[in-house]
Amino acid sequence: MAANQLNAQSKIGYISTEELISIMPETQKADSNLQQFRNALVQNAQEKESQLQSDIDRFNRDSAKMSDAVKTVKRQELQKSLTELQTEDQRIQQQLQQKQQELITPINKKAFDAIQAVAKENGYTYVFEKNALLVAPPGEDILHLVAKKMNIKVPAQSSQPGVPKTGGKQ
């Protein structure tokens, strides 16, 4: 009897946060900013590579006029530059991950806050991630409620009210 009362008092909903975030205008802006940042990093790396190649060519051209001590110092400098350039890809990936996190954190917070508000306004005791559910009643997908709260239009191919997408990942 106690379990029946608990079930009667609990309202359960679900949402695909991935789908919600993908339709938020902020996500498109963040993607664009991230792409611009990536392009700038790649261009910088290409400039460093061109500079290194120019320095190697200059060394090869002028090395006959250099003393052994100067050649040794120049080779060490070139090797150091080459080593730095070889780690550039890893550095770029780290910077991209950091920038992505910086851009997506406020978007995730806005989505989570909207989900919380809709759950409270509509009496949902629990809201689950849609992709984690194997079976779910179609009427409990709150994507459209959250999108409405955020003034976002849900594209036609997104979740349709009354038609559950089940079976894990979409």
Closest CA to 84 of 55, 125, 58, 116: 55
C-beta separation of 86 from 49 below 8 A: no
Whether the pTM exceeds 0.95: the reply is no
Task: Residue 128: name the closest of 164, 92, 80 by CA.
Answer: 164
Tell me the pLDDT tens digit for each residue of 60-108. Answer: 999 889 899 999 999 999 999 999 988 998 999 999 999 999 999 999 9
Integer distance in angstroms from the first to the last C-alpha of the chain?
A: 37
Of the candidates 17, 3, 7, 43, which has an alpha carbon nearest to the alpha carbon of residue 141? 17
Q: Tell how far CA 95 is from the center of its chain.
A: 12
Cα separation, 39 vs 37, whole angstroms: 5
Work out the pLDDT band at 160, boundaries 50, 70, 90. Answer: very low
Of 20, 33, 5, nearest to 150 by C-alpha is 20
| Residue 136's pLDDT band (cuts 50, 70, 90) | confident
> Residues with Cβ < 8 Å from 83, sequence gap 6 or more?
none
Q: For 55-69, how does the pLDDT look when each residue is reduced to its tens digit (9 = 90+)? A: 999 999 998 898 999
Predicted confidence (pLDDT) at residue 7 exceeds the cutoff of 80: no
Residue type, 120: K
Note the residue count of the chain.
170
